[in-house]
Amino acid sequence: MYNNDEVKKEIGKRIKELRERLGMSQEDLARAIGYKSPNSRSTIYKVESGKSDISQSKLTKYARALQTTVPYILGIENKTQNSTKKPQLIAPSKSVTYKRISHIDPLAPDEFSQKKDKQLVPVLGKVVAGIPIEAIEEIIDYELIPEKLASQGEYFALKVTGDSMYPRFIENDVVIVRQQDDVDSGSIAIMLIGDNEATIKRVQKFDGGINLVPNNREYDIMTFTNKQVQELPVRCIGKVVELRARF
């Protein structure tokens, strides 16, 4: 796992370098991404300075505005998108011509620059009801997962809090989660119950509903009827596919 401050600084360096190579100001980039507040320039400055995270949904917009890829911004690859288009691009928001980039030398140190068979996923501090995973801005760290695994779906990582799954999972462990809205009975999943924060539990299904089972026997099994599952609701956010224990 990488130091989050280091990752943010390297991402910021890449964004700034791309922006300057394109001849864009911070205001230009903010407009291209869709920031509309009077403090949009400050937002870009904080990102480029490594003082602010970028949500997953915003990463795609940064990549599009900077004519590159999300893996390049994250340091997973060291080439921007090659393009067969003309070497200039007219910005849609104003009549300014920006240069198109075909290659930029690596900015990140060898430790951060990753092979193409790896993908970086964000470690989230929590998952709450009403906010899509890709829109969550509380990114506390990053983890690498194999490209083969990444090709099988959308992933995020989640920091374990509490001791309801002790001793299998302990506080501050990190679990790798594949996003999916259902799991087989017996799987460990990230579950949302009503408006509460997400919880990690083993799912047991039966004809009349489901049980969410903790590993720690000091905690009660949570049982929900099929009606409660629909009305509360009780929703599956994803399946835990890997544990990365912290010692």
Would you state the structure tokens that stand for residue 93, as one six-digit string? 């928001």
Q: Is 201 a catalytic residue?
A: yes
Contact 61, 94 (CB under 8 A): no
Q: What is the DSSP string of 160-184?
A: --SSTTTTTS-TT-EEEEEE-S---
Q: Which one from 201, 205, 227, 239 is the annotated catalytic residue?
A: 201
The residues that bridge with 244 in the sheet, in sequence order, are: 174
Q: Is 151 a catalytic residue?
A: no
- Runs of H (alpha helix) within 87-239: 147-150, 226-231
Q: Which one from 164, 185, 187, 227 is the annotated catalytic residue?
A: 164
122: cis peptide before it, omega within 30°? no
18: left (phi over 0), alpha (psi -120 to 50) or beta: alpha
DSSP β-ladder status, 155-159 and 118-124: parallel
Report which of 118, 30, 107 is spatially closest to residue 73, judged by C-alpha positions.
107
Contact 232, 194 (CB under 8 A): yes
Torsion of CA 187, 192, 198, 199, to 10 degrees: -40
Q: Which helix (H) or strand (E) holds 144?
A: strand 139-146
Query: Active-site positions?
Result: 164, 201
